[in-house]
Amino acid sequence: MAGLETGSSDFRELAASGEQPGVTKAIGMAFAAARDGLAAFLVAARVTPNTLTGAGFVVTLGSAACLALGAGDAFGPSAVAGRSYWPLWAGALLIAAGACDMLDGAVARIGRKSTSFGAVLDSSLDRFSDVAVFLALVGHFCWRGNLTYTVLAAVALANTFLISYVKARAEDLIEDCTVGWWQRGERHVALLIACFSCHVPVLLWQQATLPMLTVFRRLDYTRKALIARQRGLPPPAKGPPAGRMRVLYPWRYPRGSVPFDLVAAVNVVILVFGPWIFPFFRGRTDPLRRLIEAIAG
């Protein structure tokens, strides 16, 4: 699916900006080369893009089932309510689903099989996949009786939908609204890291807060773009502001740049090491429930 493709189109903005490429560009281009080679084989085998899109969704449902059974579990001392390998199984299935996400668009492009319905199906199943994963997390923590993480999972789901909705609605009015750090690919990778580190609780804190900044960024960019058009001016720059202040906005640099890599590294550290540094993020407590009980007396 388009949100997870890692080809040259993802780095077009990087090339135009003149920024120094980072590690993520090298990784992305390696994935793109492997993806296109496999896509050419699938085209020869007469596999259709819609088949891959549907297969990715089915595999995502399997991952969601694993998360529903054991999102808060782990196989070490960071376990919330039990010790199991459910998060690892979820991560493995998400890798397979992500492969389908990358391949369906490549097969459509290489095999010249793009259709309008395929684009609608692709986008729709992306949303269904998000619902499946986060509803599984809502269900898991509700089952465990943890109000805090149930609410965080619901807010994270809302953020996921708002990011996509604002972009779609904005592009009815302006040409492009692909701004903000937390695009679909970044959210997918964060979920993978959380599953393989068995740190899903800290992922929910992250996804219930930081992606909202992307929602606000898209709203603000749309407002500025509409004002610029009314005044006969070019659309605002998507990147960081000009001048010395640009170093204070590393999350606005294009995907694949060095500042982008730094932001990515910080988020990886939060997911992998956050619960070890701050045990609060292991999900063993329920601060929202305690707060409500204190207020209710």
**Average pLDDT rounded to a whole number, residues 258-284:** 93
pLDDT, tens digit, 9 for 90 and up, residues 10-41: 677 777 777 788 898 888 888 888 888 999 99
**Cα Rg of the chain (Å, integer):** 20
pLDDT at 201: 95
How many Å apart are CA 121 and CA 71, to the nearest integer? 28
- Alpha carbon 149 to its chain's center: 19
pLDDT, tens digit, 9 for 90 and up, residues 94-143: 999 999 998 998 999 998 888 889 889 999 999 999 999 999 999 999 99
**Token pair for residue 40?**
């050419």
Confidence bin at 243 (pLDDT 50/70/90): confident
pLDDT, tens digit, 9 for 90 and up, residues 190-226: 999 999 999 999 999 999 999 999 999 999 999 999 9
**How many CB atoms lie under 10 A from the CB of residue 268?**
14
CA atoms within 13 A on the CB side of 94: 28
pLDDT at 1: 38
Domain ranges of the chain: 2-296
pLDDT at 234: 93
**Average pLDDT rounded to a whole number, residues 160-166:** 95
What are 257's strand-pairing partners? 21
Whether 80 and 285 have beta carbons less than 8 Å apart is answered as no
pLDDT at 33: 87
Residues found in the chain? 297
**How many CB atoms lie under 10 A from the CB of residue 77?**
9
CATH architecture under which domain 2-296 falls: Up-down Bundle (1.20)
pLDDT at 114: 86
Q: Percentage of the chain with pLDDT > 70?
A: 94
Residue 2 or residue 164, greater confidence: 164
Confidence bin at 6 (pLDDT 50/70/90): very low
How many Å apart are CA 254 and CA 274, to the nearest integer? 26
Handedness of CA 123, 225, 223, 209 (dihedral sign): positive
Instruction: Return mean pLDDT, the chain.
Output: 90
Confidence bin at 77 (pLDDT 50/70/90): low
